[in-house]
Amino acid sequence: MKLLLLAIYLLISVLRFALDWLNLRHRRQAHPPLPRAFHGQIDEQRLARSEAYALAGDRLGFVEGCVGVLLTLLFLFGGLLPWYDRWVDGLVDGFILQGLLFFALLLLVQMLFGLPFSLYRNFVLEERFGFNRMSFRLWCADLFKSLLVGGVLFALLAGGSLWLVSVAPDSWWLWVWGFWAGMSLFLIYLSPNLIEPLFFKFSPLEKPGLETRVRELLAKVGVKAGKVLQVDASRRSGHSNAYFTGIGNVKRVVLFDTLLEQLEDEELLAVLAHELGHWRCGHIRKRLIKSQIVALACCWLAFTLLNSHLLPGLLGLEQLSFAGQVLLLGWLGSLAGFFWTPVSSWWSRKQEREADQFAVDLVGSGRELASGLVKLARENLSNLFPHPLYVAIYYSHPALLERVLWLESRKNSKR
């Protein structure tokens, strides 16, 4: 069984690398000229630059992926896991404390291995292409704050779950699920009020008249805008985005200042209309319900497998602590996740198209959203020529060329 698992893991890893390679090669082939919406926005020089950006990103991703595979092989198949398990067992007493320490140290090691990559990505790669706007000091402050927030959340979630397992050994799957569901709802509320302000500065929109237009747009679909804010994302990166949060009918709209720099008002409103589409078409609610159903099934499956005592045998081990078995389960879940990715990507692309249609109907044409997307692709050096297979497996949004052509074709369809 151990060999079979090893073979499946290696196969998936090779497949992942092969897909990256396929995607990169596809982009370097000759392509038909870009459609009209791209003229004047993206020229040959831009394309060459975005190709160089993708190549640099892929190279880094490849090295990072290789390090990840090597560490996994060493830990799960090289005999490190049982050794680590016994070591933690001898270090502290008590089910909850042992479990917490087991995961905390592993997360810390994982973070340490990730640090050089994060540094290189920000200060070499993103810097070279003009995206990085972060000072080393800000990077350190961010790291410190993330560790603090992450540590508190980890202690709360992992500690609470382990406690529930210890007090309700026959039914913990239901309790743990309920605990996580409650916590995630609580975090939706807490995040914009407590966590995000730790990292970003939110302020009212500077552009005169824009807030009124945003409120008018939201009112059109019966959504009340609580606060309309801009956020100083430009302190960190040149990449741009827009989002809104909030449960119920009162929404908090947040626009990246980089987005405000890059788009005209009409394009910005079209992007917001698309986001509103997600809410109006029930995508956010559906995603929440779907993830809770999946979480419930996972909790039950984990409970059943952990009680079956089959897990240590999968790696040829006699015994493994509860935490060690949960880790193994998580890894098995990530293998299964690879096969689930195309399904969830397809589902997401379908919803993106629905939200696009909603935006077209609301704004009256697809032209503004299309030109906004083209500008964002220009600013973000996005890949205009992804491999269709890569799109099918990984893309949560339709590929840009296809999306823009679709939007343009819709421009006169209304009324």
Binding site residues, Zn ion, CB under 5 A? 352, 355
Query: Considering beta carbons, is residue 126 or 352 the nearer one to Zn ion?
Result: 352
- C-alpha 123/C-alpha 105 separation (Å) is 27
* Rounded Cα distance, 98 and 95, in Å: 5
In sequence order, what E strands does 31-99 have?
none
Q: Which is nearer to Zn ion, 172 or 358 (CB)?
A: 358
Nearer to Zn ion by C-beta: 323 or 373?
373
What are the structure tokens assigned to 342, written together?
Answer: 């195309």
Work out how close the CB of 355 gets to Zn ion at its nearest, in angstroms, rounded to a whole number.
5
What tokens does 263 get? 């788009």
Tokens for 385? Answer: 């020529």
Tokens (6 digits) for 350: 């379908």
Angle, CA of 396, 399 and 403, to the nearest 5°: 105
355 vs 401, beta carbon nearer Zn ion: 355
* Candidate list 85, 275, 352, 379, residue with the active-site label: 275
Q: Which residues make Cβ contacts (< 8 Å) with residue 371, sequence separation at least 6?
A: 37, 41, 267
Contacts of 203 (CB under 8 A, 6+ apart): 229, 230, 231, 232
Tell me the one-letter amino acid at 65. G
Q: In angstroms, give the least distance from the CB of 12 to Zn ion.
A: 28
Closest CB to Zn ion among 352 and 368?
A: 352
| Sign of the torsion angle spanned by Cα atoms 347, 352, 358, 361 | negative
- C-beta closer to Zn ion: residue 99 or 386: 386
- Residue 351: CB minimum distance to Zn ion, A: 7
Closest approach of Zn ion to the CB of residue 292, in Å:
21
Nearer to Zn ion, 121 or 278 (CB): 278
Mention every residue, 6+ apart, whose C-beta is less than 8 A from residue 145: 198, 199
* Pairing mode of beta strands 242-245, 250-256: antiparallel
* 356 assigned to active site: yes
Distance CA 58, CA 318 (A): 40
Residue of 85, 126, 211, 356 marked active site: 356
Distance CA(295)–CA(182), nearest Å, equals 12
Residue whose pair of structure tokens reads 């908090």 in the numeric block: 252
Token couple for 243? 């989002």
Instruction: Give the amino acid at 35.
Output: P
Minimum distance from CB of 279 to Zn ion (Å)? 10
Q: Could you tell me the smallest distance in angstroms from the CB atom of residue 87 to Zn ion? A: 46
In which order are the strands placed within the sheet that holds 250-256? 202-204, 224-231, 250-256, 242-245
* Cβ-based nearer residue to Zn ion, 255 or 355: 355
Nearest distance from residue 222's CB to Zn ion, in Å?
19
Q: Hey, CA dihedral for 339, 157, 167, 101, is it positive or negative?
A: positive
- Token pair listed for 41: 């926005």
| Smallest separation, CB 127 to Zn ion (Å) | 29
Give the active site residues.
275, 356
